Amino acid sequence: MAERSAGVELRRVLGTYSATALVIGTVIGSGIFLVPSEMVRRVGSPGMVFVVWIVGGLLSLFGALTYAELAAAMPQAGGEYNYLREAYGPLWGFLYGWTQTWVGKSGSVATLGTAFFLYLANFSPKLEQVLYSIPLPLGPGGGPLEIRYGQLLAVLVILALGGLNYLGVQVGGGIQVTVTVVKILLLAAIIGIGVGTSRGSAANFTSSTGAAAGVTGFFGALVAALWAFDGWNNVSMVASEIKNPQKNLPLALIAGTLVVMAIYLLANVAYFYVLPAPDAAASERVAAEMMRRILGQGGAGAVSVAAMVSIFAALNGSILSGARVPYAMARDGLFFAPLARVHPRYRTPAVSILVLSAWSALLVFSGRYKELFTYVIFANWLLYGMTAASVLVLRKKRPDLERPYRTAGYPTVPVLFLFGACCLIFSTLFDSPRESLMGLVLIFLGLPFYFHWKRLAR
């Protein structure tokens, strides 16, 4: 079934491989190359880092199992927008779409763009230099807003990918499959070199370094891990363009998440086999430092290339999927009407793609890597938790709803995911109050706009 907008239709042209590549390619971005150092600084030892990765992976898998039921039952553009609207009413669907447009998805794209230029700075250090400083408390930590040369490059990359996705979902899907395959091969090579080197030592797995104590450190590390896992839900946003969605959506969600978990754990085995905990904690680019010790500066450069390929795929997948959320809202009369337009030739939500890309490019100037991923994770997990709960709500509210796939382990799996989401939300609010409160403010700024569009739709 196609989805209509003013007589022009979105078409179901993405197959199983494209859907699965969208999950894997969007999840594996910059996180696996950057966040292990943040995690070991938080928890102090490789052993605890692995515990955090496993907890984050299981939370993501429980989320994927839960979302699979919703996606198969409601395979329309917009993903969570549809599930929240159906479970709680149009206000909550709107607040999700509002948050994704202005904070969640756009912030994720901006964060990936920031990570892209940080890796490219290995070849051109000038990219990290400040071009201009705005003397207002708009930057990280309330400091001045600094515009760097690399941020301008990140903006160009985001806008270029927006233009490619404008030309058709098959173009974006083809890019996603190709670049995802390349990134998996590059990661496999990095893992193989790391675990096969004579420069490593199993003793590194029992090393330790200073860390934040107890629960605070654990959840701080979990925020970093969940940023690396973020994106497993993106395939549901483009559900209206996937062939046989009742089968392919659950398959892509579950298989894609399992593949990512395996890759992340193996990558960390390689990292900590070569690097003891203090060295991993001291390096902002842990994968590059591992390869530098094995192959010299050329190895570090190879990791930077692999990271940029990986980030490129994640950027493409995020723009491809994220643009369907404001499109779905506008289609229902709850957002700016032009965003509901489908291009008559390319069959894409063209205006929505352009708007999301432009706003994401602007957000690149809002901060550095750590501040951006904390900002995005908090806003996203508020709504992930509500979406997981909607499975429980809809089982009671809509027992008649056709469910081609039912969540394995129901109700335990969605309840555990919801519990993990609540713990993460409160921990992030306590640990990073400024970024968290900014996310909350942007969510609730949507309320007057919702009532405005609701009045117009009458």
Q: What is the pLDDT of residues 162-197, one digit of tens each?
A: 999 999 998 988 999 999 999 999 999 999 999 999
Q: What confidence tier does 7 reach under pLDDT thresholds 50, 70, 90?
A: low
pLDDT of residue 444 exceeding 70, the answer is yes
Percentage helix, strand, coil, to 5, in the chain? 75, 5, 20
Residue 162 Cα distances to 225, 351, 384, angstroms: 27, 10, 25
Look at residue 156 and tell me if it is in a domain: yes
The pLDDT value given to residue 212: 64
In a domain, 3, yes or no: no
Number of domains in the chain: 1
Between 94 and 3, the higher pLDDT residue: 94
CB atoms within 10 A of CB 6: 11
Are 413 and 65 in contact by the 8 Å Cβ rule? The answer is yes
Question: Euclidean distance between the first and final Cα of the chain, in Å?
Answer: 27
For the chain, the C-alpha Rg in angstroms (whole number) is 21
What pLDDT, on a 0 to 100 scale, did the predictor assign at position 1? 42
The one-letter code for the residue type at 115 is: A
Quick one: pLDDT band at residue 133, thresholds 50, 70, 90? confident
Contact 381, 421 (CB under 8 A): yes
Q: What is the average per-residue pLDDT within 316-343?
A: 93
Q: Is it the case that residue 272 has pLDDT exceeding 50? A: yes
User: Which letter does DSSP use for residue 122 in this model?
Assistant: T
pLDDT of residue 106: 87
Question: Helices 80-88 and 369-397: crossing angle, nearest 10°?
Answer: 50
What pLDDT score was predicted for residue 437?
A: 79
Q: For the chain, how long is the longest CA-to-CA vector?
A: 70
Q: How many residues does the chain have?
A: 458
Q: Is the peptide bond prior to 411 cis by the omega test (within 30 degrees of 0)?
A: yes
Residue 10 falls within a domain, yes or no?
no
Read off the pLDDT of residues 371-388 as tens digits, 9 standing for 90 and up: 655 666 677 788 889 999
Digit-coded pLDDT (tens) for 83-103: 999 999 999 999 999 988 888
Does residue 348 belong to any structural domain of this protein?
yes
At residue 354, the pLDDT reads 96
Is 329 strand, coil or helix?
A: helix
Query: What CA–CA distances, in Å, run from 161 to 61, 173, 210?
Result: 29, 12, 41
Q: Hey, which residues does 146 pair with through a beta bridge?
A: 133
Average pLDDT of the segment spanning 352-358: 96
Instruction: Answer yes or no: are the C-beta atoms of 16 and 173 closer than 8 Å.
Output: no
Q: What is the mean pLDDT of residues 113-121?
A: 84
Q: How confident is the model at residue 434 (pLDDT cuts 50, 70, 90)?
A: confident
Residue-level pLDDT at 141: 61
Summarize the confidence of residues 132-140 as an average pLDDT: 67
Instruction: Indicate the pLDDT class of residue 457, thresholds 50, 70 and 90.
Output: confident
Q: Is 346 helix (H, G, I), strand (E, B) or coil?
A: coil
**Distance, CA of 286 to CA of 269 (rounded, Å):** 12
pLDDT at 13 over 80: yes
**Is 363 a domain residue?**
yes
Range of the domain at 262: 15-457
Q: Which of 5, 279, 181, 330 is nearest to 173 (CA)?
A: 181
Q: State the Cα–Cα distance between residues 421 and 380, nearest whole angstrom.
A: 10
Query: What pLDDT score does 81 carry?
Result: 95
What CATH number does the domain containing 268 carry? 1.20.1740.10
**Percent of all residues in the chain with a pLDDT value above 70, rounded to a whole number:** 93
Q: Does 251 score more than 70 pLDDT? A: yes
Kindly tell me if the per-residue pLDDT of 297 is higher than 60: yes
pLDDT at 368 over 80: no
- Please state, for a pLDDT cut of 90, what percent of the chain lies above it: 58
Q: What is the pLDDT of residue 433?
A: 83
Domain contains 423: yes
Which of 44-53, 121-130, 133-142 is the least confident region?
133-142
pLDDT above 80 for 145: no
Cα torsion angle, 294, 298, 300, 302, sign: negative
pLDDT for residue 266 is more than 90: yes
Q: Say yes or no to pLDDT of 269 above 60.
A: yes
Q: Within a domain: residue 216?
A: yes
Q: Check residue 284 and give its pLDDT.
A: 79
Whole-number mean pLDDT of the chain? 88
Q: Is residue 2's pLDDT more than 50?
A: no
55 part of a folded domain: yes
Question: Number of helices and strands (H, E) in the chain?
Answer: 19, 4
Compute the CA torsion angle 151, 155, 157, 161 (nearest 10 deg).
150
Q: What is the mean pLDDT of residues 442-448?
A: 86
Q: What is the pLDDT of residue 337?
A: 92
Taking residues 318-346, report their average pLDDT.
Answer: 93
